[in-house]
Amino acid sequence: MIEERFDAIVIGAGMAGNAAAYTMASRGLNVLQLERGEYPGSKNVQGGILYADMLEKIIPDFREEAPLERHLIEQRFWFMTDRSHTGMHYRSDDFNEERPNRYTIIRSQFDRWFNKQVQAQGAIVISETTVTELVSDAYGKVIGVRTDRSGGTVFADVVVLAEGVNGLLGARAGLRPTPKAEHVALAVKEMHFLPRETIEARFNLHGDEGVVIEAAGTISKGMTGMGFVYTNKESISVGFGCLVSDFAANEETPYGMLENFKTHPSIAPLIEGSEVKEYAAHLIPEGGYKTIPELFGDGWVVVGDAAQLNNAIHREGSNLAMTSGRLAGEAIFQVKSRKDPMTKQNLALYKKLLDDSFVMKDLKKYKDMPALLHTQASNFFLDYPTLVSKAMENFLRVDGTPKIEKEKASVRAFRQKRSLTGLVGDAWRLARAWR
C-alpha cells in the first residue's frame, strides 16, 4: 500500500480522528489517516451539535469557513406523556454573541470540511480503506496496521484508534472489551426539509438563530431513552434513541419509536409539511465513566466514542471527542519531540492530560447517573412524567371542582403509581448521583 513509515496512523475521520490528525499534522508530524467510508463524513448523514470552544482550541478561526447551520439561543427540555408535555426552556439574547457557543451542523458536510483542514496541514488521508487488524512486534507493541488493500500493511510509531463505539479493531486486538448492549444506545434520525422562513416562524427565530428540544418520558415506553429536535437553516433533525438492551428486551423497533415521537401532538406541528430526505442510525456510548476502557498502551491510544467518552447526562459527545483527539495528538507530539519511544509508560501522558481536562472531571462527577437511570427507567420515564402531567392538568383545568378534591385526586394517583418511600428513595439516589 504505502512503503513510507509514519509518525502516526489515525483510524477514523470523525470528530476525534480529525482532531487528533490535525493536531499532529499541524505540529509537523508525518500522519496517515484511514477512513473506511467513501469520504470523511459519508457515514454521518445527519445533524448534530458543535461546541465551539473545543474546536477553537484546534482551529481558532473555524467560523470563517466551516459549514455551520444555526447558533443556538434556546434550549427546551420536555417531560412528555403520550398527549402532553411539561417543559422548561432557557432562551437568552446573550447567545447572539459575536462568537457563539453552540451551533447545529450537518455532520456529513462538517466532517468533510474538517478533514480538508487536516489535509491542508500535510496529513495523508485515504478513504474507502478498512483497517482489518493491528500489526504488533514480537513484544506486543503496536507498530502499524493491515488494511483491505493489496499490500496493505503500513507502519507507524503509534496508532490512534478513533473508530467509533462499535469499531471492532480494538476489540479484536484485545485492547478494549466489546461494549455491552446496556452501555450503548441506538439513535435514529431523520432530516425534515422545510423553507427557512417556515422554520423561523415555527420556532420564533431570526436570522441564523437556532433551537434545540430534548424530550423524555412515556414516549420511550419505560425504556431509557429520549427524543430530540435540532433546527438547521433549511431542515429539522428529528431523532430518537434508546439503549440497545432495552430495544431487545421490549421488542420495540427504533424506527417505530421515532414514528411515535414524530406524531406526538407536541412534535407533529413542528414538522408538518416537511419533506424527509435522509434517515440514518448511529450507536452512542452511554455507560459513562465506569465503562471507559484502558486508553493507551505500547504503540496505541484510543479516543472519542471508541473510548466510551460520552456525557450522556448532558448529551455531550462531539466536544469530548474533539478534546480527546486533540489531547492525544498533543501527548504524541510531546513524546515524539523528546525523541522517546511510543511506549505505554510514555503514552500515559495522554491519560494525564485527559484527567486534567473537563472530560474526565465531568464523567467522573456523574459516574453513578447512567446506572441509576438505566435501573430505574420505569420510574423516571413512565411514572413520574405521568404524575407531573396529571398534577399540571389538575392545576390548570377550571371546571367547578373544588381545589381540595383535585389535590386529593392527585395524591391518590401518586399513591397508585409510587409509594412515598419509593419517591424519597429515588430522589435521594438522584441527588447523590448529581452531587
The tens digit of pLDDT for each residue in 113-131 reads 999 999 999 999 999 999 9
Q: What is the pLDDT of residue 421?
A: 45
Helices (H), 167-277: 169-172, 196-202, 244-250, 254-262, 268-271
Average pLDDT over residues 218-236: 93
Q: What is the pLDDT of residue 405?
A: 83
Q: What is the pLDDT of residue 139?
A: 93
Which is more confident, 167 or 171? 171
Exposed, middle or buried: residue 358 (CB in 10 Å: 0-12, 13-18, 19+)?
middle
Q: How far is CA 43 from CA 38, 73, 125, 160, 220, in A?
A: 8, 28, 16, 20, 26
* Sign of the dihedral through C-alpha 390, 396, 399, 401: positive
Percent of all residues in the chain with a pLDDT value above 70, rounded to a whole number: 90
Q: What is the pLDDT of residue 392?
A: 85
User: Is a pLDDT exceeding 80 seen at residue 369?
Assistant: no
User: Is a pLDDT exceeding 80 seen at residue 431?
Assistant: no
Which is more confident, 151 or 213? 213
Q: How far apart are the first and last CA of the chain?
A: 52
**SS3 label, residue 126:** strand
User: From CA 30, how far away is CA 161, in angstroms rounded?
Assistant: 17
β partners of residue 227: 215, 240
Q: What is the bridge-based pairing of β-strands 275-285 and 184-193?
A: antiparallel
The tens digit of pLDDT for each residue in 237-249 reads 999 999 999 999 9
Rg (the chain; Cα; Å): 23
If one counts every other C-beta atom within 10 angstroms of the C-beta of residue 418, the result is 18
Q: What is the pLDDT of residue 394?
A: 81
- The secondary structure element, H or E, covering residue 118 is helix 107-120
Q: What is the bridge-based pairing of β-strands 225-231 and 209-217?
A: antiparallel
Q: Which amino acid is present at 177?
A: P
Q: What is the pLDDT of residue 30?
A: 98
Residues 31 and 181: beta-carbon distance below 8 Å: no
Q: What is the bridge-based pairing of β-strands 31-34 and 124-126?
A: parallel
The tens digit of pLDDT for each residue in 19-42 reads 999 999 999 999 999 999 887 876
Q: What is the pLDDT of residue 416?
A: 62
Confidence of residue 150 (pLDDT cuts 50, 70, 90): confident
Average pLDDT over residues 365-393: 77
Q: What is the pLDDT of residue 375?
A: 67
Average pLDDT over residues 381-390: 82
Q: Which residues contact 147 (CB under 8 A, 6 or more apart)?
A: 1, 34, 129, 130, 131, 132, 153, 154
**SS3 label, residue 371:** helix
Q: What is the pLDDT of residue 417?
A: 59
Q: What is the pLDDT of residue 400?
A: 85
Q: What is the pLDDT of residue 2?
A: 67
Q: What is the pLDDT of residue 1?
A: 60
Confidence of residue 426 (pLDDT cuts 50, 70, 90): low
User: Is a pLDDT exceeding 70 seen at residue 413?
Assistant: no
Average pLDDT over residues 372-399: 79
The tens digit of pLDDT for each residue in 41-92 reads 766 655 689 999 999 999 999 999 999 999 999 999 999 999 999 999 999 9
Q: Vertex 133, ends 5 and 151: CA angle to 5°?
A: 55
Which is more confident, 408 or 302? 302
Q: What is the pLDDT of residue 123?
A: 97
Residues 212 and 270: beta-carbon distance below 8 Å: no
If one counts every other C-beta atom within 10 angstroms of the C-beta of residue 18, the result is 36
Residues 222 and 242: beta-carbon distance below 8 Å: no
The mean-pLDDT minimum among 29-43, 215-229, 246-260, 360-374 falls in 360-374
| CA proximity to 270, closest of 228, 236, 233 | 236
Q: What is the pLDDT of residue 424?
A: 45
The mean-pLDDT minimum among 138-142, 207-211, 395-399, 424-428 falls in 424-428
The tens digit of pLDDT for each residue in 323-338 reads 999 999 999 999 999 9
Q: What is the pLDDT of residue 367?
A: 82
User: Is a pLDDT exceeding 60 seen at residue 427?
Assistant: no
User: From CA 168, how far away is CA 298, in angstroms rounded?
Assistant: 19
Mean pLDDT of the chain: 89
Q: What is the pLDDT of residue 382?
A: 80
User: Is a pLDDT exceeding 50 seen at residue 216?
Assistant: yes
If one counts every other C-beta atom within 10 angstroms of the C-beta of residue 264, the result is 21
DSSP per-residue codes, 33-90: EE-SSSSTTTT--SEEEEEHHHHHTT-TTGGGTS-EEEEEEEEEEEEE-SS-EEEEEE
Confidence of residue 7 (pLDDT cuts 50, 70, 90): very high
User: Is a pLDDT exceeding 70 seen at residue 300?
Assistant: yes
User: Is a pLDDT exceeding 50 seen at residue 420?
Assistant: no
User: From CA 140, how far away is CA 280, in angstroms rounded?
Assistant: 38
Average pLDDT over residues 222-235: 94
